[in-house]
Amino acid sequence: MAHTLLLVDDEPFNLELMTELLEDAGYRVRTAESGEAAWHLLDREGDAFSSVLLDKMMPGMDGFELLRRIKSDQRLEFLPVIMQTAVGAAASVQEGLSQGAFYYLTKPFSREMLQAVVAAAVSHWDRHTYFRELVNQQAEALGYLNEAHFAFRTHKEAQWVTALLARACPHPERVATGLFELLVNAIEHGNLRLSYAEKTQLQADGAWEAELERRLSDPEFGQRQVRLSYRRSREAIRFSIADEGAGFDWRHYLDTEAISYLESHGRGILIARKLSFDQLNYLGNGNQVDADIWLIRPTPSPDASDAAPPADTP
């Protein structure tokens, strides 16, 4: 079934050009020439769309206002929104990403860049839809789960574990999206030692799936496991994820200015931080991460710059 995209731009020529490029790639396309018209469509038919491509600068309701409306609506908050702008300033990008934009395209952009970004957004939406359907099938008893431990190797196994544990959490669809991203990072970039640059090139060459299977069959990498622990207390739920890789410079992805997210690097961490968890802490060399969901929001001390998890959080 073809995915349907909503293109929002006040310039008819831009809409016509993008429509042609995206329909050539197999997408269905609907268009709106204003933020108001786009919101009317989304409010009425939001579940029909897999992604929104949104121009930042428009008269009336601009791109930022429409983005805020989308992300504040529970029906639409996970819908990937790709912002487009002729302004590449860090402050502009920071504002869009802080409001929940999935990606930022700076005009002019190539056919290849447009199609690659849309494919990533649609893939993100497909994963969200998959987990939304799967978690609803799990038993209500999982809400009483206090502790569990898992070890696994593959993406499919990570999907099963994610769907199971997300159902034990408040807002399971939100948790599933970020948890799966962290598990994929642990498998691909941890255990299988695939760099972000290698993944980007392999996907561009159409060789990604074959290389993933090759490394999973490799005697050195293929037997490595990701270990996941789930612990629930009265105050919080904590996921602890550890891989057998050499680690990475996690500080770069937690501290770098948002302009760096114009690259493909760090997308999974960004999604986990922005959408799924209240706190994300990498430990040691970066091959372990604790992801916390606060059931009772802690009160920060007067001199603390960031809220800390409760003292008796597991």
Q: Where are the domains of the chain?
A: 4-123, 136-294
Contact yes or no for 107/86 (Cβ under 8 A): yes
Which residue in 290, 52, 49, 276 sits closest to 173, CA to CA? 276
Distance CA 237, CA 31 (A): 42
What tokens appear for 47 in the block? Answer: 């579940």
- For residue 234, the SS3 value is coil
Residue among 3, 2, 6 at smallest CA distance from 67: 6
pLDDT of residue 37: 94
CB atoms within 10 A of CB 267: 18
Integer angstrom CA distances of residue 283 from 109, 183, 193, 243: 38, 15, 18, 12
| Cα 195 to Cα 189: distance, rounded to the nearest angstrom | 6
Ramachandran assignment for 60, one of left (phi > 0), alpha (psi -120 to 50 degrees), beta (any other):
left
- Match domain 4-123 to its CATH number in 3.40.50.2300, 3.40.50.2000, 3.40.350.10, 3.40.50.150: 3.40.50.2300
Encoded tokens for 196: 């972000």
User: Alpha-carbon distance 38 to 29, whole Å?
Assistant: 13
Q: Within 13 Å, how many C-alpha atoms sit on residue 278's CB side?
A: 19
Non-local (6+) Cβ contacts of 259 within 8 A are: 90, 93, 94
Residues of the chain with pLDDT under 70: 1, 87-98, 134-141, 251-267, 300-314
**Would you give the DSSP letter of residue 312?**
T
pLDDT on residue 309: 45
- DSSP summary character for residue 76: T
119 C-beta neighbours (distance < 10 Å), count: 15
Residue type at 214? R
Tell me the CATH architecture of domain 136-294: 2-Layer Sandwich (3.30)
Cis peptide before 108 (omega within 30 of 0): yes
For 216, phi and psi rounded to 5 degrees? -65, -25
9 neighbors 15 (Cβ within 8 angstroms): yes
- Indicate the DSSP class of residue 300: P
Quick one: pLDDT at residue 311?
36
Structure tokens at 182: 């962290």
Asked if residue 19 lies in contact with residue 4, where contact means CB atoms within 8 angstroms, the answer is no
